[in-house]
Amino acid sequence: MSAPSHLSDLGPAPCAEQGSALRLTRQRREVYDVLLERRDHPTVQEVFARAKERMPKISLATVYNCLEALMQVGLVRQVNLHRSPSRFCPNLSDHAHFHCAACGQVSDIPLEATPCPTLPDGAVLHQQEITLRGLCPHCASPKHS
């Protein structure tokens, strides 16, 4: 909850990729706000639904666009999952994602030490993603099954 509450500074390349300035549109702001409001890793459809509540005219394609744009500037990360649509995450700290195979929920797992694999000579690393799959405490509990 200590993250940047509002994207007041989207223009001046926040997380410094290649100096691309992001044009601040109402839609992008709305999509980003939706992600910040509840850190529950929504799917595109969920982002769309939530954004629509406050901006009924917004289109699904625009949500995809906005998310892609936010990812480009480094404010948002995409989580690619097995048998499940992608989720989106505005948490920029180093962390892994835990995907429950039963209920489908995704949660953040803090990483104390970031692994540093040896890349092939000359390779350039842009991004690193750690995904854990299993059963969340609730679904793993014997009472639950």
Partner DNA sequence: GTGAATGCAAAACCTTTGCAACTGG
Partner DNA sequence: CCAGTTGCAAAGGTTTTGCATTCAC
Positions that interact with its own copies (CB under 8 A) = 1-4, 78, 80-84, 86, 96, 98, 100-104, 107, 109-115, 117-137, 140-141
Per partner kind, with CB cut-offs from 5 to 8 A, the member of its own copies, DNA, none near residue 59 is DNA
Q: Do 62 and 112 contact (CB within 8 A), yes or no?
A: no
Nearer to DNA, 66 or 75 (CB): 66
SS3 sequence of 24-90: CCHHHHHHHHHHHHCCCCCEHHHHHHHHHHHCCCCCHHHHHHHHHHHHHCCCCEEEEECCEEEEEEC
Contacts with DNA by CB under 7 A lie at 4, 6, 9-11, 22-28, 43-45, 55, 57-62, 64-66, 68-69, 83, 85-86
Choose between 68 and 94: whose C-beta lies nearer to DNA: 68
